[in-house]
């Protein structure tokens, strides 16, 4: 019986070593084999594969089409200068698993964050050109607007400024130098914004 002890130990050790040397890849997955933290190989074929125990480890990646569905709607201004909530979703999947790992370290949360930034930036770029026909644009951020207009203002294709003070904005518009031709001031809003329409009209009339 004592003689069987070492034999059993060797068999168990070999079984553990063999188990640590094998891994499987599902048909819906790709895998990256790492050796001492560096990418050693990319496995794209499903089935049983082998690796060096102890010095190599494996990470599996889902290659199916995934859905990015933003739980929090994005806030933007429409062409009519109306703040709207935009729900968005993106269907995406990994094409190159090595590049995916290099770009976001294989972290799905980082990938989702990058997708959100791309979607948000694209929509913001489109919204920032909605007033391209104007000579200048003045954005008024009333107290009921809780989101930041800074990025939209900076991305504007024409001269744009932002004002938090309605009285100051009206004085600014009233003090504009006389135009060579007839001036048109267009107010686009989805509300009264402190009576801006009437107050601006009165101020322009008094300054005439």
8 falls within a domain: no
**What Cα–Cα distance (Å) separates residue 48 from each residue in 11, 23, 45?**
22, 6, 9
10 falls within a domain: no
**Last residue of one domain, picked from the residues 99, 130, 161:** 130
**Last residue of one domain, picked from the residues 91, 107, 130:** 130
pTM summary value: 0.52
Name the residue range of residue 156's domain: 136-207
36 falls within a domain: yes
pLDDT recorded at residue 144: 63
* CA-wise closest residue to 27 among 41, 51, 48, 42: 48
pLDDT in single tens digits along all 208 residues of the chain? 555 666 666 666 666 676 788 899 999 999 999 998 899 999 999 999 999 888 899 999 999 988 887 777 667 665 555 565 666 677 888 999 999 999 998 898 899 888 888 877 776 666 556 666 677 888 887 766 656 667 667 767 678 888 888 888 888 888 887 766 656 676 766 555 677 778 888 888 787 6
Residue 21 exposed, middle or buried by CB count within 10 Å (0-12, 13-18, 19+) = middle
Query: Are 108 and 153 found together in one domain?
Result: no
**Last residue of one domain, picked from the residues 46, 63, 80:** 63
Token pair 């200068």 in the structure block, residue: 81
Cα–Cα distance, 107 to 96 (Å, whole number):
14
pLDDT recorded at residue 113: 86
Query: Are 200 and 161 found together in one domain?
Result: yes
Query: Are 90 and 124 found together in one domain?
Result: yes
Number of domains in the chain: 3
**Cα-atom radius of gyration of the chain, to the nearest Å?**
31
């Amino acid at each position: 019986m004592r003689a069987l002890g070492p034999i059993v130990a060797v068999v168990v050790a070999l079984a553990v070593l063999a188990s640590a040397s094998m891994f499987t890849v599902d048909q819906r997955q790709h895998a990256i084999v790492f050796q001492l933290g560096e990418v050693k190989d990319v496995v794209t074929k499903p089935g049983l594969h082998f690796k060096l125990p102890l010095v190599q480890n494996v990470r599996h990646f889902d290659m199916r089409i995934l859905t990015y569905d933003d739980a929090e709607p994005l806030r933007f201004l429409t062409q009519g200068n109306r703040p709207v909530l935009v729900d968005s979703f993106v269907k995406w999947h990994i094409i190159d698993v090595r590049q995916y790992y290099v770009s976001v370290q294989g972290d799905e949360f980082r990938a989702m964050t990058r997708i959100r930034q791309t979607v948000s930036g694209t929509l913001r770029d489109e919204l920032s050109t909605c007033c391209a026909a104007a000579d200048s644009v003045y954005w008024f951020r009333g107290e009921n607007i809780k989101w930041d207009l800074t990025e939209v203002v900076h991305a504007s294709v024409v001269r744009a400024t932002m004002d938090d003070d309605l009285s100051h904005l009206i004085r600014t518009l009233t003090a504009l130098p006389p135009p060579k031709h007839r001036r048109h001031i267009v107010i686009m809003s989805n509300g009264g914004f402190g009576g801006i329409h009437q107050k601006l009209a009165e101020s322009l009339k008094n300054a005439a």
